[in-house]
Chains A and B, each alone.
Chain A
Amino acid sequence: MLDNSALQQLYRYALSLTAEPAAAEDLLQGALEKLIAQQEKPQQVQAYTRRIIRNQFIDQCRRAKIIAFESLQEHEPVNMDTQSLEELVVMQDWVEKLLQHLNNAEREVLYMWAVLEYSTSEIAHELKQPRGTILSRLYRIRKKLEQIKGDLEENPNASLGQDAR
């Protein structure tokens, strides 16, 4: 049903949501338990399991009264050029700093764009959200990355604290 490679990918997706390895493992375990309880197995098991993971994460946040995903800000631009994101060059350790500054929704979109290599349309389809919302999140990711880059260039020895979760 799901080989080790698929399980690792699902774990990393869960990690993009939770930002915590133990929580990601729990989330994946819970999703697999729900999957095997299904009477009819879905055609695309991996994508289906990703949806279970996401829904479970949202449920957990709701119970803990945490806002899982921020609503789209009205003033956010929606005509972002994704090509500029494709051409962005970074140092490897900037990624961890960037993820510490992203919220759940932004980490999720970054994961789907970079690791699953989905187009913005594919991400919008999977998350059942408008393409404009996805573009805005990618725009915010780029802005935060530019801020990190600027801060590091100003003060190379600075350690950046966590911002959004």
Chain B
Amino acid sequence: MKNTSIDHQKKLLKQATQEYYKQHSLDAAALANMQTLLASSVQEERSSVDDVPQMRSGGRRLFTLAMAASIFCFVFTLGLWFKAIGPGAVTSDQMVEAIAMEVSKNHLKMKPLEVSSDDFSSVRDYFSELDFSPTRSDYFLADAGPMLGGRYCSIQGVTAAQLRYQVQGSNQSQSLYETTYDIAVFGELPVIEKDGIPIKTFARGLAVDIWVEKGLLMVSVRDMP
């Protein structure tokens, strides 16, 4: 909120600069969104801290043995866990919601395309600073119209490509976000090649689909029909 009254007083540069910046603040809605984002991270940390047992000195040996057994079981089940990514895999609801909120916000902003072309190869060649190669999605392209172009963006802090397509038979556009799928960052998500079914959700009045295809996390955003 800017100060519209004229301040005729002379003051030290430092003080005047401080007062200038104090007039520029995030509004309540933006603050609340950011606190929600931070709170989702704190909640996950507390859950892991609460799981640590409180032990007296006499129980330390037993605890050590229990921890060793736990580590063995963890390693044994890790292999099974990777095989479990497929239909019906357990997903992180909070991560899905965070992704959906982020991409829907970006889609609504409709920031200018950095490369405009209906040729996928030309658009892919533009993204020279990614550590992956944008690729055509069989799942997404089934319903998509002509390509419009692309721009750099990010998903949960990971650099991504935002590809924009026209909606088939409409003047509206839809976005397809692609980035490297890192299970440590994004959690378990359905993999198309393993018969995974894309997660369908909604955010800010938009339809959002989330899935993994060809090693990439893919997220599509479009207006509701």
Q: Can you name the residue of chain A whose Cβ is closest to the Cβ of B28?
A: A4
| Cross-chain contact A85 with B13 (CB below 8 angstroms) | yes
Give the docked Cα–Cα distance between A15 and B17 (Å). Answer: 13
Instruction: Identify 16 residue pairs between A and B in the complex whose beta-carbon atoms are under 8 Å apart, listed by A's number.
Output: A4-B31, A8-B25, A8-B26, A11-B24, A12-B25, A21-B24, A29-B34, A36-B40, A85-B13, A89-B13, A90-B16, A91-B7, A91-B10, A92-B11, A96-B20, A99-B20
Q: Is the interface of B mostly helix, strand, loop or mixed?
A: helix
Give the docked Cα–Cα distance between A28 and B13 (Å). Answer: 26
Which of B6, B38, B129 is within 8 Å of A32, CB to CB?
B38
| Cross-chain contact B42 with A1 (CB below 8 angstroms) | yes
Q: Can you name the residue of chain A whose Cβ is closest to the Cβ of B45?
A: A41
Q: Which 7 A-B pairs have the closest CB atoms?
A: A34-B157, A114-B17, A36-B41, A92-B7, A88-B13, A33-B157, A95-B20
Q: Is the interface of A mostly helix, strand, loop or mixed?
A: helix
Counting CB contacts under 8 A, is A86 at the interface?
yes
Distance in angstroms from A135 CB to nearest chain B CB is 16
| Cross-chain contact A11 with B10 (CB below 8 angstroms) | no
| Cross-chain contact A89 with B10 (CB below 8 angstroms) | yes
Q: Can you name the residue of chain B whose Cβ is closest to the Cβ of A117?
A: B14
Please list the residues of chain A having a beta carbon within 8 angstroms of any beta carbon in chain B: 1-2, 4, 7-8, 11-12, 15-16, 21, 25, 28-30, 32-37, 39, 41, 63-64, 85-96, 99, 110-111, 113-115, 117, 145
Give the docked Cα–Cα distance between A96 and B16 (Å). Answer: 10
Give the docked Cα–Cα distance between A12 and B129 (Å). Answer: 29
Give the docked Cα–Cα distance between A105 and B13 (Å). Answer: 18
A41 proximity list for chain B (CB < 8 A): 45
Distance in angstroms from B79 CB to nearest chain A CB is 22
| Cross-chain contact B26 with A63 (CB below 8 angstroms) | no
Which of A21, A36, A88 is within 8 Å of B38, CB to CB?
A36
Within residues 65 to 82 of chain B, which ones have a CB less than 8 A from any CB in chain A? none
Counting CB contacts under 8 A, is B56 at the interface?
no
Quick one: which of B7, B10, B38, B45 has the most chain A CB within 10 A? B38
Give the docked Cα–Cα distance between A145 and B158 (Å). Answer: 40
A4 proximity list for chain B (CB < 8 A): 31, 35
A87 proximity list for chain B (CB < 8 A): 12
Give the docked Cα–Cα distance between A145 and B16 (Å). Answer: 13
B24 proximity list for chain A (CB < 8 A): 11-12, 15, 21
Q: Can you name the residue of chain A whose Cβ is closest to the Cβ of B26?
A: A11
Counting CB contacts under 8 A, is B19 at the interface?
yes
Extra A-B contacts (4), CB below 8 Å, given A32-B37, A33-B157, A115-B18: A35-B157, A91-B7, A95-B16, A110-B17
Give the docked Cα–Cα distance between A35 and B45 (Å). Answer: 13
Give the docked Cα–Cα distance between A117 and B17 (Å). Answer: 11
Per-position 1/0 for B38-55, Cβ under 8 A of A? 101110010000000000
Give the docked Cα–Cα distance between A111 and B13 (Å). Answer: 11
Distance in angstroms from B40 CB to nearest chain A CB is 7
Distance in angstroms from A145 CB to nearest chain B CB is 7
Q: Can you name the residue of chain A whose Cβ is closest to the Cβ of B155?
A: A33
A28 proximity list for chain B (CB < 8 A): 26, 34
Known contacts A12-B21, A28-B34, A36-B41; is A89 also within 8 Å of B11 by CB? yes
